[in-house]
Amino acid sequence: EVQLVESGGGLVQPGGSLRLSCAASGFSFSTYRMNWVRQAPGRGLEWISYISSGNHVLYSDSVKGRFTISRDNARNSLFLQMNSLRAEDTALYYCARRYGDSNSGRYFDLWGRGTLVTVSS
C-alpha cells in the first residue's frame, strides 16, 4: 500500500526539541521530493519545509533556523528535527509527497495522517 506514516510527536516544553519521522512505503521514496506541512488546532494548513531527492532544502520563515529537514533513502524515511520550540509550533504535523519534478507537478499528491506536537509548560 502506498502510504506515509508520521511518528515522534508529543508534549514538549517551550525551548525544547523533538524529532519527527515519516515512514514511506509502497513507492520509490528516493525519487520523490518531500515536504512537511503543519496545521495548528482549528486553523489552516501551513507549508514549513521541503527536501529534494538530492537533499536541497527549503524552509518557511516561521521555522528557518530552528527546524532541520532530512531524509534517509535507505530507510525510506523523512525527518524533521525541531529545536527551540515555541507555543505557536503546537500543531498536527503532516509529511506530504510532491507529485513530480516539473513546476507543474509541485502539488502534494500523498499525505500522511499526521503526528501531534504540543508545546506547553
Partner 1 sequence: DIRMTQSPSTLSASVGDTVTVTCRASQSIGTLLAWYQQKPGKAPNLLIYEASTLESGVPSRFSGTGSGTEFTLTISTLQPDDFATYYCQQYNSFWTFGQGTKVENK
Interface ranges with partner 1 (CB under 8 A): 35, 37, 44-47, 50, 58, 60, 94, 99, 103-104, 106-109, 111-114
The length of the chain in residues reads: 121
Least distance (Å) between residue 35 CB and partner 1: 7
DSSP state of 75: G
Comparing CB distances to partner 1, the nearer of 59 and 70 is 59
Q: Which is nearer to partner 1, 42 or 121 (CB)?
A: 42
Residue closer to partner 1 (CB basis): 8 or 16? 8
d(CA 108, CA 32) in angstroms, rounded, equals 11
Q: If DSSP states are collapsed to H, E and C, what string results for 30-56?
A: HHCCEEEEEECCCCCEEEEEEECCCCC
Indicate the residue among 50 and 67 with the shorter CB distance to partner 1: 50
- What is the rounded CA–CA span in Å between residue 120 and residue 14? 6
CB of 45 to partner 1, least distance (A): 4
The owner of cell 531524509 is 71
Least spacing, CB of residue 115 vs partner 1, in Å: 11
Distance in Å, CB of 16 to partner 1, minimum = 26
Read off the DSSP letter of residue 86.
-
